[in-house]
Amino acid sequence: MNRVAVLGAGAWGTALALQAVRAGGRVTLWARDAERAEAMVRDRVNARYLPGQPLPPELGVTARLEAALEGAALLLLVVPAQHIRGVLATLPALLPPVLVCAKGVEQGSLKLPLEVLAELRPGARLGVLSGPNFAHEVAAGLPAAAVVASTDAGLREAADALLATPAFRLYGSEDPVGVQVGGAAKNVLAIAAGIVTGAGLGENARAALITRGVAELARLTLALGGRAETTAGLSGLGDLLLTATGPGSRNTSLGMALGRGQSVAEVLAGRAGVTEGVATAPALLARAAQAGVELPICSAVAALLAGALTVPQAIAQILARPRRGE
């Protein structure tokens, strides 16, 4: 069986569907909006999220969940982290093995994506796919690497068989906690890096912030039961470097706009896709507080997004931290 169901027809979901087709799978992409699904079938392009990237005839597109899931050997859940619970409520009780391809912390419950799935689908075979991947580059078939993390070795092997190609290399990990923490925290830290750039504080400041951000990420990963080495891998440092060093990242570009004086509402009003770091920042901070971990950079970002601090005040708050050894 080489059928792959991809739930979520945003940029990343569409890119992963294209990658699964390249790997030889029989792939169906589910779009929540029926009109958009029809347009993608008719025009063979995801005009809203990946304009200019043709969809091959082998890729099926549907708005019917049952059609997407029929006979699937692997389910890629590629909806925003804040919508995972709602989508799961519409799915059947028995699911094929699931790879979560979203990054974040659920508001309210403060759970990581796999914790939400384990709560709602106990006993399901679960894993997470994460790494330094821009959707448009994966969609175009440019070289990339990612991590598939699961305590289920069979699931890791199945994901590799159904998704990997020479240009899309997958590495297995037994640390889904560390991989999820890296994916969530890097979005918040990327907003901070963008603020530094937008405010004109220089490359030295951005490099220092990213480095200290890795330290925050490592503290939280260990506190939640993850492994220190995961922080230095593709889903930690690798993803943070990609996301925090270029305006192609939605989180970094948001931060740049904030650093130049725009408001959060102004920036988000002109966007089609979800900027995960906005919802993740307060939830990540609350989860860290439960674990007794301080995240000064993430704390400043959360306060700024909530309107409790201005950009100069957020920068001053970080710079006023007590001196300490590295």
Active site amino acids: 186
Q: Look at the chain and count its residues.
A: 326
Q: Token pair for residue 321? A: 């931290």
- Structural element, H or E, at residue 286: helix 276-290
Q: Token pair for residue 199? A: 């405010």
Q: In what order do the strands lie in the sheet with 60-62?
A: 60-62, 26-30, 3-7, 74-77, 98-100, 126-130, 144-149, 168-173
DSSP 236: I
Residues in a beta bridge with 4: 27, 74
DSSP 31-93: -SSHHHHHHHHHHSB-TTTSTT-BPPTT-EEES-HHHHHTT-SEEEE-S-GGGHHHHHTTS-S
**Whole-angstrom Cα distance, residue 18 to residue 59?**
7
Q: Token pair for residue 62? A: 């549907």
**Tokens 């650093």 belong to which residue?**
259
**Tokens 């790494």 belong to which residue?**
131
Give residues with Cβ within 8 angstroms of 214, minimum separation 6.
231, 232, 236, 237, 240
Residues in a beta bridge with 28: 5, 60
Residue 11 near residue 135, CB atoms below 8 Å? yes
Give residues with Cβ within 8 angstroms of 149, minimum separation 6.
127, 128, 129, 130, 156, 172, 173, 174, 175, 176, 178, 179, 180, 235
